[in-house]
Homo-oligomer: A and B are copies of this chain.
Amino acid sequence: MADPNNRPPGAPRPPAVVLLSGGMDSAVVLAEARALGFVPHALSFRYGQRHAVELDAAARIAVAGGAAAHLVVGLELGALGGSSLTADQPVPKDRTRAEIGQKVPSTYVPARNTVFLSVALGWAEVLGARDLFCGVNAIDTSGYPDCRPEFLAAFEALAQVATAADPRGTPYRVHAPLLELDKAAIVRRATELGVDLALSHTCYDPVVAAGATRPLACGRCDACTLRLEGFARAGLVDGAPYVADAPRPDRKP
């Protein structure tokens, strides 16, 4: 691993590419990359999400998190079909914590993280970066296959042979600093790093309400359920806007 904190005096901070979805996890990852001494370059995708709300959140987070650049790459993953996040299928609602993660849900976008990391690798090569950061998480994953440690290890192995970078140089590294953290720990880590999670957007099914400055989270899809439980278990209240009748376990005494 390139350790930017062990670099010679006066050496510039190395660049790193950070996948930035606009959700709370990626906001924390961006802050982790910066705290580790990298110059973060944020990468987001316009990939046929039904809601571009998360790209607005990514832009807010990139600015607040001190990204040196924020690149949004268009990618028509929706053309492949197969996901309720990109196709006209209903998003599951009101599933309990026990039901979430039992099997791969309909919100899974086929090979999404593989594609996103591949584009990140391409940008890293252009930037001369050897470090990629992503917010994948093996604890509260919603059951996505491409959020597992063995997936990250396989991608890291691929990266070493996939680019024109000198194989004798620093190896590529895929950092997943949230891999072993549950949502409560991520909320606490955000507080430690000074990340304002209210800037982030998590909901799979947001509601555009008259007079609101940004869409409101539903509070009932899998992503909202995991997020709100994380705040509740961390003993903190989520500052992001929700619909009025959303269940708010984070506000319970």
Contact = CB atoms under 8 A, between A and B. Distances in A.
Interface string A44-72: 00000000000000000000000000010
Interface in A169-207: none
A104 B76 CA distance: 29
Interface string A146-167: 1010110011011011111000
A150 B161 contact: yes
Contacts of A79: 71, 73-74
- Taking residues whose C-beta sits less than 8 angstroms from the other chain, chain A's interface range is 35 or more
A162 B122 contact: no
B118 A163 contact: no
Interface in A1-26: none
A141 to B, nearest CB: 12
A175 B71 CA distance: 33
B125 A111 contact: yes
A110 B125 contact: yes
Contacts of A81: 126
A60 to B, nearest CB: 20
B73 A74 contact: no
A112 B108 contact: no
Nearest to A151: B161
Interface string A116-145: 001101110110000000000000000011
B119 A145 contact: no
A82 B122 CA distance: 9
B123 A145 contact: no
A163 B110 contact: yes
A75 B125 CA distance: 18
A114 interface: yes
A27 interface: no
A210 interface: no
A176 to B, nearest CB: 14
Contacts of A114: 118, 121-122, 158, 162
A110 B123 contact: yes
Interface of A: 71, 73-77, 79-82, 104, 108-115, 118-119, 121-123, 125-126, 144-146, 148, 150-151, 154-155, 157-158, 160-164
10 contacts: A73-B79, A74-B76, A75-B75, A77-B122, A104-B164, A111-B122, A114-B122, A115-B118, A145-B163, A150-B161
